[in-house]
Structure formats: structure tokens, C-alpha cells
Chains A and B, each alone.
Chain A
Amino acid sequence: MTSLTAIINGRLVDPVTNTEDITNIFLDETGMVVGLGYVPEEDAVTSEVIDLKGKYIISNIIDSHVSLREPGEEDKETLATASKAALSGGITLLISTPDTHPIIDTPEMVSFIHGRRKESSLVPIYPLGALSKNMSGLELAELYLMSDAGAVGFTDGNSLEHTGLMRHALHYSSDLDRPVIITPEDPLLSQNGVMNEGSVSTVLGLKGIPAESEEVRLSRDIKLLERFGGFLHVFPVTTRATVDLIRKAKARGLSITCGTAPHYLMFDESDIEGYDPIYKCRPPLRTRDDIEALIEGISDGTIDILASHHQPHTIDGKRTDFVSAEYGMSGIDTFLPSVITALVHRRAVPLPLIAKLLSTNPKRIFRLKKPGVAINTKPSFTVIDTKTEMSVDQAGFGSKSKLSPFHGMGLVGWPVMTIIDGKILWRRTPRFC
């Protein structure tokens, strides 16, 4: 006789059927789902009954764009600390960027990350490989070999400056079915800009990055995609025109997907008024109208995914003036509640769409074979309290980087339990049930 864990009365958010039905989940000691239904089974011998009344369950929440700094900058973050942040942040899978020291641009480096992950992280971490060797933009990296070693996509950050090599990158990888991920920006148009160009940058005397910097480069890459094939994933998109470019490219049947990050939904350029470096990110915070365009893109399916764009720094990266400060913010710990606050709480976006953005769409884009909550699987899922507001305290982050623009803000949508491969690996304390 096996002893079961009964997780009852939670509402399982299913983006495929568009439902949020109460589902009882029975896990055996190995984490296998042995019972699934609306009524608890009478004959089950349960070691623990967890009542999730009023809570929601989303399986396989993925943060698909995080910079983890290991190897090379372990003072900022490690796989272990990022994993801790993910568990208490309700994230069951991370996809890491290759911008480490050394850069992840070979199958050996991809294997190294997988090995380090097994040693130090309870949360699965899948690396992205560099698109070009040493991210230099001069020669393509070994995309197929890295894919074989477990890289789930390729990125140099920005798309390649060299238009011809960018053409080859897309064309060469066109039968690989792994995304080339770009953060489009024309550096000659951005020059030394540090924030969105407009009346706010003019008032503050800070050099602006025009929205067109993103749009001009993306227009080029969409042309290349259209002619030479490949799979382009754009992250993060921040402007109205960018969303529109991608909407039209999708309508023409191109293999293009995109995502944005929660800070682009919650903050705009006017937040930089006090020169607070916490708001410094690249691409920069844009305008309220751009936020509206992002929300429209999320609602109509143009925007496929959300990811935190976690870029950890030590205090020194931000304890300086705005121009000297580093770009980016700590995002894993607040990812889930910031998404739910921005979209569900403020914009009444339904939870099944949230599950698409955080789970099924990134699974599809990065070809991740992770089961949902089903009989005879060992699922990963997160239990979410969508009602209780809690104030963000960055001091309590799992991440080493305690630098968040959400610090002090009241957010809703906090995780209360994180289950990975059928095992409860984290529960909020004090326990909610």
C-alpha cells in the first residue's frame, strides 16, 4: 500500500481547454500522479491532504530569459541562488542566456552548464548558446552541436551587426527548429543613449534611445527571415511599432515569436524622473502608449511569452549615477506576481492566457518536453494565491541580486507552493494550509 499526497480543491488552469476547474491531484511517493479527479478517492491512503481552496494551479511556469552569471561572475548570481529564487518565485524551469565568462558558445560549455545545474540546482535550467563565437558577431558558433548538447536556442543579445552573417545565421539554422533570439537595436541610432528618447529624456538631459532603434533593426531581420527562413524569437519587445511589425510578420506566416518582460508593462520612462538607476534597463522603459500596445499584443496573441529578463548585479552596479549604472534588474523573485499584478489584477487578463504566456508557449518555442498535470506523469506545477497582496521586500530575495524596481510595491499573485517532477520543493511559510 502506497501512501499518497492529496492536493485537493485547487483550480487547474488549462490553456488548451481554457478552463480553471477544481482538480484533485494524488501523488505517490515518487511524485507520480496516480489519481486525478474532481472527487477525492475514498480508498486512498493519504499521508497528507493539502487543501488548495481558492488557489490556482499552473503547470510548468518557465522564465525563459535569465542571465545567471555563472561561470565568471558568481558575486552577482549562481545557478544555486537563481534556483532558490525560482523555487520561491513559483518558477519550475529557467532558460539562461550565454553571456557568462567564458561565454557559452561551444557544446562543451553547454554540457558544463547542464553538469553544474545537476550539482547545484533543484530547478531545471536550460542554456541558450551564443549565436556567434565569443558573441563577437564575426563567425557562427556550432549551433547544431550545441543543440545536440542541450542548448534550446541561440542568442548574441542584439541581432548580428553584420547583415550578411545574420542572413547566414537564420538560413543555416532554418532546419534546426531552434529559435535565434534577438533584442533588436541599431547601436548607431542609439549612440550613447541611456533611456527612451522623448520629452522626458529632454527634460532630464539624458541621451535618448529612439524607439526606432528597435524598429529599424527588427525590420531588417524580418526581411532576412522572410527571404532566407529560420526561426526568430524577439525578446523583449518594448514599442508599439515593434509589436505591429511582428503582428504583420505573423500574418504573413513567418516563423517569428516574441515576448516582453513585466517591467515593461509596469513602468514607463517617467519613472526615471529622479535619476534612480534601478529603472535603467535596455531596451529602455518606454511610454504609456507603448505599454498599451504591449497589452494589446498580449491580448491578441502577437506577444507569445513573458520572461523576467533577470539581469543580476551587485549593489555597485546601481549605487551610482544613472548614466554610470548597469543596465537591468533582478527579476526572478518577482516574476510571477509582477505578471499577475500587471495583467490579471490590473487588466483582467484571464488566467488561461497567463498559462499560455508563461508555460505552453515557451514550451513550444524552446521545444521543452515537460508533461502537464496528467495521470502517470511527474508534473511540475505552481500553486498560486491570486488574491493576497504582499509587499515586495528585495532583502528576502532568493537571488543574490537584491535590486528590484518592484521593491516596496504591493503585488498579488504570489506562489504558495512549487512542485517539481511531482515533488513539493517549496512551500510558503507560514503555511497557508
Chain B
Amino acid sequence: MKISSSKSLLALRFLNSEQLLRLINSALELKKSFTENQHPRSLSGQTILNLFFEPSTRTRVSFETAVKRLGGSSVALNLESSSVKKGETLFDTIKNLDAMGFDGIVVRHRHAGVPHFVDNTLGVPVINAGDGFNEHPSQGLLDVFTMIEKQGTVTGKNVLILGDILHSRVARSNIWALKTLGANVFVAGPPTLIPAGIEHMGAIVVPDLAKAIPHMDFINVLRIQYERQDLGYFPTVREYRDRFGLTLDRLQHAKPTVNILHPGPINRGIEIDSDVADGPHNVILDQVANGVIVRMAILQQLLSKGGTA
């Protein structure tokens, strides 16, 4: 099976800086034309399938909005993995849907590698909207896009990714894109949630959060999933917040220019306190707004007639 594909966006890992910047620059142009209400209708006549095997609100609506703004239409299909289990194989599900003639498929699944399987099995462009702990490329791109928008560049900047790195596809997509674009990437969290060999991806594990924060230009706070507690990765939410929660107190010694990102949905009072999430450093809603723009750029590049992937 192929690990990268020219017709699809499966991962940021295999994009070089030129390819990343092309997408980001096209998003910048779209944002400009969008504010002037002159954005292209380049998906006119095309239908995109949003195939979500895992629940999602933000990402699905964001893709749907992006498709609509580009003049296309989308069909959303929410297939919880459990209901799929009862019946047909994944192969049959996607072959059947493909037979209906969609122009592109946005897919999310709790298993890493599903978009690769879909891409390999079908001829249409596939956009990975999150696969297991592997990647969430559109989120990674919108994070980088927001960072560039706020501070001009990510090259040479220090970015801290804070929280559950082990189970985070957002962390992986961030690390790949940021490293490719020349940022310094740091990760912090309970040792149980830092995956083996993360340094091979170019990230530096921060041993002391308090000492690291003053050097950071961006802090990307990851959502803590309660269900992980069952497996004993950390004892209680209270203890997690005490050690790794982004509180106003922890931000005291941060750079005045620091930007706080969060992929959402936020657990207020757990991984991030409300006064930080709503505070002057936060760019969380900018991320959501930019998400639509970046997804428009991705869709346009993969799907618009005459567009190049």
C-alpha cells in the first residue's frame, strides 16, 4: 500500500515546505477574496462525501461549509464504527459509496491508516479528516496557518504542544508541518502520554514545563480525553490540571506575544482554564474561522478543474 498519494491529502508528513506553503498561501488569498466576497466557485457541480466513522461536529461542519462556499455540495454520512461492524466490510462500504459517483471523499476513522486504504481502493481524491492517532492534516495546516497569520512565520519559532501526545493526531500533523517549515517543536505532558521515540519525529520532550513556557512563541494545548484515565495514564483530572493544565499562573512568565491554540472542543478547567481560553493570548476562534479557509484551499487544490495537487 502506498504511504503518500498525489491525488489525495492523507498526511502532512510527506509534504515538503514548498507544498505546505503553496496551500497556506492559497488559503491566504482565499481569505482575502472571501472578505471581499469574491472567492472562486471552483467546486461548482461537484459533490463531496463526508464519511465520518467517528463523531465530529467541528471538522465535519467546517468541511461542509468549505465545500458550500466553493459552490459544491456535500453529503454527510455518519457511520459509528459499531454499526458498521454488524454488517458489511469497510471495503464493501466504500466501494458501494464510490459507485454513487462522488468527486471526493473526506474521511474520518478511529483507526490510523483508513484514509490510506480508501485512497488505495478508490480512484477519487481522499482527504484525511483524522485517522486514529496518526494525522489530522487539515487541522495541522490550519494551526500553522493561524500561527503564520499571527506572527508572520513559524520558521525559528518555538512551539510547545501540551498534553496527550500519545493519542493525538493533531500533535503529529503539527510536528510534521512545523518541523518541515523550520520551527522548533517541543512537547510536554505526563510521561505516560509521550509516545516512544517521539524525538525521531524531531520533537523535543520538555522535562520542566515551568522552565519551558517563557521561551515559547506558541502553545498548542491538546484536549484531555477522560476515557484515557481508565487505562491509568494519569490518576485524576485534578492532578493533571495541577501538573499540566494551562493556567493563568503558568502563563505569568510567558512571552507577552505568546499565542495559545487549542484544536477543540475545550475542557475548561482541565487542560486549559477559562481565563486563559478567553484571554488575550488565545487564538482559538481564529483557528475555527481559518479552518474553513484552509479546507477550501485543500479542496480547491485537489478538486478544482485544472487544479494541481
Q: Are B89 and A320 in contact (CB under 8 A)?
A: yes
The answer to whether the Cβ of B2 comes within 8 Å of any Cβ in the partner chain is: yes
CB neighbours (8 Å) of A198 from chain B are 196-197
Q: Are A322 and B3 in contact (CB under 8 A)?
A: no
Which size bracket describes the interface of A in this complex? 20 to 34
Q: How far is the CA of A191 from the CA of B232 in the complex (A)?
A: 12
CB neighbours (8 Å) of A320 from chain B are 89-91, 117
Q: Are B116 and A275 in contact (CB under 8 A)?
A: yes
Query: Which of the candidate stretches A204-212, A345-353, A383-391, A409-417 sits at the interface with the other chain?
Result: A204-212
In the complex, 7 of the A-B residue pairs with CB atoms within 8 angstroms, ordered by the A residue number, are A202-B196, A205-B112, A205-B169, A206-B112, A274-B2, A320-B90, A321-B113
CB neighbours (8 Å) of B132 from chain A are 205-206, 323
Q: Are B201 and A275 in contact (CB under 8 A)?
A: no
Q: Determine how close the nearest CB of chain B comes to the CB of A188; give it in whole angstroms.
A: 10
Q: Determine how close the nearest CB of chain A comes to the CB of B89; give it in whole angstroms.
A: 6
Q: How far is the CA of A319 from the CA of B1 in the complex (A)?
A: 11
Q: Are A206 and B3 in contact (CB under 8 A)?
A: no
Residue of chain B at shortest CB distance from A323? B111
Residues of A within 8 A of B (CB): 191, 197-208, 273-276, 316, 319-324
Q: Determine how close the nearest CB of chain A comes to the CB of B8; give it in whole angstroms.
A: 14
CB neighbours (8 Å) of B196 from chain A are 197-199, 201-202, 208
In the complex with contacts A274-B2, A276-B1, A321-B114 CB distance below 8 A:
yes
CB neighbours (8 Å) of A208 from chain B are 196
In the complex with contacts A197-B196, A321-B111, A205-B135 CB distance below 8 A:
yes
Q: Are A202 and B111 in contact (CB under 8 A)?
A: no
CB neighbours (8 Å) of A273 from chain B are 3
Q: How far is the CA of A200 from the CA of B13 in the complex (A)?
A: 13
CB neighbours (8 Å) of A316 from chain B are 89, 91
> Within the complex, which residue of B90, B113, B198 is in contact with A204, where a contact is CB–CB below 8 Å?
B113
**Sample of 19 further A-B pairs with CB below 8 A, known A206-B134, A275-B1:** A199-B198, A200-B197, A201-B196, A202-B197, A204-B112, A205-B112, A206-B113, A208-B196, A274-B2, A275-B113, A275-B117, A319-B91, A320-B89, A320-B117, A321-B113, A322-B112, A323-B113, A323-B132, A324-B90
Residue of chain A at shortest CB distance from B117? A321
Q: How far is the CA of A290 from the CA of B134 in the complex (A)?
A: 25
The answer to whether the Cβ of B195 comes within 8 Å of any Cβ in the partner chain is: yes
* Total inter-chain residue pairs, C-beta < 8 Å: 79
In the complex with contacts A202-B198, A323-B111, A207-B1 CB distance below 8 A:
no
CB neighbours (8 Å) of A203 from chain B are 13, 172, 197, 200-201
Provide the main secondary structure of the chain A interface.
loop
Q: How far is the CA of A276 from the CA of B111 in the complex (A)?
A: 13
In the complex with contacts A198-B197, A201-B196, A205-B133, A322-B113 CB distance below 8 A:
yes
The answer to whether the Cβ of B109 comes within 8 Å of any Cβ in the partner chain is: yes
Q: Are A191 and B113 in contact (CB under 8 A)?
A: no
Residue of chain A at shortest CB distance from B197? A199
> Within the complex, which residue of A205, A274, A324 is in contact with B134, where a contact is CB–CB below 8 Å?
A205
Q: Determine how close the nearest CB of chain A comes to the CB of B7; give it in whole angstroms.
A: 16
Q: Are B89 and A205 in contact (CB under 8 A)?
A: no
In the complex with contacts A274-B2, A274-B3, A319-B89 CB distance below 8 A:
yes
CB neighbours (8 Å) of B172 from chain A are 203, 205
The answer to whether the Cβ of B231 comes within 8 Å of any Cβ in the partner chain is: yes
Q: How far is the CA of A99 from the CA of B47 in the complex (A)?
A: 47
Residue of chain A at shortest CB distance from B171? A205
Q: Determine how close the nearest CB of chain A comes to the CB of B105; give it in whole angstroms.
A: 14
* B109-147 interface code vs A (CB 8 A; 1 in, 0 out): 101111011000000000000011111000000000000
Q: How far is the CA of A204 from the CA of B91 in the complex (A)?
A: 21
Q: Are B112 and A275 in contact (CB under 8 A)?
A: yes
Q: Are B131 and A205 in contact (CB under 8 A)?
A: yes
Q: How far is the CA of A68 from the CA of B271 in the complex (A)?
A: 51
Q: Are B133 and A321 in contact (CB under 8 A)?
A: no
A-B complex: 9 closest residue pairs judged by Cβ atoms: A199-B197, A205-B134, A275-B113, A205-B133, A323-B111, A205-B112, A199-B200, A202-B195, A274-B1
Q: How far is the CA of A171 from the CA of B276 in the complex (A)?
A: 63
CB neighbours (8 Å) of B1 from chain A are 274-276
Q: Are B3 and A202 in contact (CB under 8 A)?
A: no
Q: How far is the CA of A323 from the CA of B196 in the complex (A)?
A: 19
Residue of chain A at shortest CB distance from B109? A321
Q: How far is the CA of A244 from the CA of B90 in the complex (A)?
A: 41
Residue of chain A at shortest CB distance from B198? A202
Q: Determine how close the nearest CB of chain B comes to the CB of A191; give it in whole angstroms.
A: 7
Q: Are A202 and B200 in contact (CB under 8 A)?
A: yes
In the complex with contacts A321-B109, A321-B111, A321-B113, A204-B89 CB distance below 8 A:
no
